[in-house]
Amino acid sequence: MRISNRKRVMVTGGAGFLGSHLCERLINEGCDVLCVDNFYSGTKDNIAHLVSNPYFEMIRHDVTFPLYVEVDEIYNLACPASPIHYQRDPVQTTKTSVHGAINMLGLAKRVKAKILQASTSEVYGDPEIHPQTEDYWGHVNPIGIRACYDEGKRCAETLFFDYYRQHNVEIKVVRIFNTYGPRMHPNDGRVVSNFIVQALSGKDITIYGGGTQTRSFCYVDDLIDGFIKMMGSNEEVTGPINMGNPAEFTIKQLAEIIIEMSGSKSKLVFMPLPQDDPKQRQPDITYANQTLSWIPQVKLEQGLAKTIDYFRKFLLL
């Protein structure tokens, strides 16, 4: 017999950029939160402010191994998400997505928990349609240097829907587009953190390719709102569902905005484009809007101001 009425929620990858924001939000909503992380790309600094809370618990654990706990909901965010981190150990990256999905789905099946998979826009690869809708199957190089992440996440989605069909596990699959905000790793190679750190340090801003490739940037608070709404949706709403900000910018535009907002004198330097780097990336969020009444609220300049302020303080430490 349970004494507490608090919802027991597990977040894998809970010490990462997105995971730490999600843990904080769940604590604030009155949940009993179990944060699981092996600290491959996450850091204790991201969750240090939560450790003293009696309703927050941390376990150092790798999701490629089974975990036996009692929870009501699972957010499966475990997997390095930046190219620098996931290409450092590509075999482990694939294992984290595939074995991790099997282990977390097995747990969800055993305890009858709802489970949300943090999938990615990378399942679309270098897309041939624009913007990307959920019914697009993607254009992915299965043997390229990004495949460990792209195909790992695609296989995880397969496993989620097979567990749903075969074992009646209640699943939620969210495809995340570029997200940014405080607690991003300063050296993760992602474009927003790269540009901000370079601008604040007075270094040249490195743009790969001609800077004409596009991205859509979603502020972290908006994405976490989407996660919470998706987890709370009807059982029939499985996804996959796109979550991102549909406002589209070129990489060169982003660099120029960051230089202006940070007051930097950095110059733009152009380098060769990495293999399989997508030329366009923009979510069609019609389904999320219709199903969850979700639409991002934070404009790029608003979110960048908070992110620049975070990195300015971080670099002074």
Q: Would you state the pLDDT for residue 6?
A: 93
Pick from 228, 242, 225, 317: nearest CA to 286: 242
Question: Residue 90 falls within a domain, yes or no?
Answer: yes
Cα distance between residue 85 and residue 252, in whole Å: 24
The rounded percent of the chain whose pLDDT value lies above 70 is 98
Question: Residue 112 falls within a domain, yes or no?
Answer: yes
Residues 6+ apart with CB under 8 A from 258: 192, 195, 196, 199, 205, 264, 304, 308
Res. 1: pLDDT tops 60? no
Q: Would you state the pLDDT for residue 2?
A: 63
User: What angle is formed at CA 67 by the lines to CA 61 and CA 68, rounded to 5 degrees?
Assistant: 135
Q: Would you state the pLDDT for residue 79?
A: 92
Question: Residue 31 falls within a domain, yes or no?
Answer: yes
Across 13-27, 58-72, 204-218, 298-312, least confident range: 204-218
Question: Residue 265 falls within a domain, yes or no?
Answer: yes
Which residues carry out catalysis? 149
- Is the model more confident about 244 or about 273? 244
Residues 6+ apart with CB under 8 A from 124: 132, 136, 138, 139, 140, 278, 281
Res. 301: pLDDT tops 90? yes
Across 103-117, 169-183, 241-255, 260-274, least confident range: 260-274
Residue range(s) defining the domain that contains residue 155:
8-316
Question: Residue 161 falls within a domain, yes or no?
Answer: yes
Q: Would you state the pLDDT for residue 3?
A: 64
Across 67-76, 120-129, 220-229, 308-317, least confident range: 308-317
Average pLDDT, the chain: 94
Question: Residue 3 falls within a domain, yes or no?
Answer: no
Q: Would you state the pLDDT for residue 317?
A: 63
**271-292 mean pLDDT:** 87
Question: Residue 2 falls within a domain, yes or no?
Answer: no
**169-178 mean pLDDT:** 97
Question: pTM for the whole thing?
Answer: 0.94
Residues 6+ apart with CB under 8 A from 278: 124, 125, 126, 127, 213
The total domain count for the chain is: 1
Question: Residue 1 falls within a domain, yes or no?
Answer: no
**304: domain CATH number?**
3.40.50.720
Read off the tokens for 165: 């069909």
pLDDT digit string, tens, across residues 205-260: 999 888 999 899 999 999 999 999 999 999 999 999 999 999 999 999 999 999 99
